Amino acid sequence: MNFIKTDIDGVIIVEPRIFNDARGYFFESYNRDEFIKNGIPNEFVQDNQSKSSYGVIRGLHCQLGEHAQAKLVRVLQGTVLDVAVDIRPDSLTFGRHVAVELSAENQRQLFIPRGFLHGFSVLSDTAIFAYKCDNFYHPESEFGIRYDDPEIGIDWRIPSDKIITSDKDRIAKGLQDVPDYRK
């Protein structure tokens, strides 16, 4: 596996070594020892999966306090633009984001540490998105900000008239409302 650091400390792209032959392909998507050796010691406790159609934007979400989560995300079918926004209060990159195209074709994964909002947009007809979390989902600890917050300025690569999102994401708060994720 190749672990690629991004412009924001702690957010890491993981590229597997893919072995192709006449039968198809094989790759290792997770190896605890390799992840620890490359600065990702998190113990994952929950796997989630979603299916979405073109134009869907899910996010930007996180969990706060003792329920904060790190995530390892990947795409099983289709293509998404995956986004992590730094909300660590003392970070020099607070409010900045990393956007990475993940697809079933490139098999890339993105590690998002605690202290980040997360979201993705679906760029293909459909996408099946899977992710590991290092903490269990706790609905009362969920927090979100608007996917289109101008202070962050994410280009989701979806025309505005094609965006599909939830009511909850449409009325979420802005970056100025982000609390300390640790509390």
Active-site residue list: 61, 131
**In angstroms, what CA-CA distances link 134 with 13, 32, 50, 98?**
17, 13, 18, 20
3-state secondary structure of 65: helix
Q: Phi and psi dihedrals of 65, rounded to 5?
A: 65, -145
Q: Which of 46, 114, 124, 59 is nearest to 86 (CA)?
A: 114
Torsion of CA 60, 16, 69, 48, to 10 degrees: 80
Give the contacts of 60 (CB within 8 A, at least 6 positions apart).
Answer: 83, 85, 117, 118, 119, 144, 145, 146, 147, 149, 152, 169, 172
Alpha-carbon distance of 103 to 82, in angstroms, equals 10
